[in-house]
Amino acid sequence: MKKHALTTRIWHWVNLVCLVVLFMSGLGISNAHKRLYWGHWGFAPEDAWLFVPKFPDWMTIPGRYDLAGARDWHLLMAWLFALGLLLFMVISLANRHFQRDLVTSRAEWRWSAIRADVVKHLKLDFTHQGSKFNFLQKLAYGVVVFILLPVMISSGIAMSPAMDANWPWLIDLFGGRQSARSVHFIVAWALAGFLVLHIVLVLLSGPVKQVRDMITGGEA
């Protein structure tokens, strides 16, 4: 029995490529208008809640100021990203990966259990018994997969001008198109932070084995 199913491994690597390209092309789009607002409208500097710095060309796709090119890359990867997430959720429910590996138990939510898990992580002790992931891993993956990623996708859709006629309720759900843009920006950086944390923990817990298992599947 494999530690990581083939579908999980494919989604993991495709998702990594999508997130990197989406993030870097998103920085290119941000350079076109470096202010964020709340509500339905916003343009004037005095209405902005955040002034975003200009990101250097090496951080953006394309590697120069090209709003049209950045939007093309962003839209291309957004479709692949959204479809991949939908397929992953459906397959995870069908093969019971979600129920078996990601659902937390009532005992895991006890403060004593959470504290013990935090202490083990601070001591760089990542061993655990009874399931593939420990509580903090389940919590992090659950928040990312079932909250942050859907919010990222839905806020991106809400920014489309076509939503005024097709799904105006989605724009209202975020409190306006500019609010959706702000939420999109915040969640993007939250996902970037998660990716950095994920890489650091992989490096601390045996990177060769971790990467090999995510390529070959490993042994359960």
Taking the CA atoms of residue 28, residue 30, residue 31 and residue 32 in that order, the dihedral angle to the nearest 10 degrees is 100
* Backbone phi, psi, residue 51, to 5°: -100, 110
At 48-76, the pLDDT tens digits run: 999 999 999 999 999 999 999 999 999 99
Can you give the pLDDT at residue 1? 67
Can you give the pLDDT at residue 165? 80
* Average pLDDT score over residue span 131-145: 85
Q: Whole-number mean pLDDT of the chain? A: 88
- The tokens describing 148, both together, are 């942050």
Q: What is the CATH number of domain 6-216?
A: 1.20.950.20
At 178-197, the pLDDT tens digits run: 999 999 999 999 999 999 98
Share of the chain above pLDDT 90, in %: 47
Can you give the pLDDT at residue 209? 85
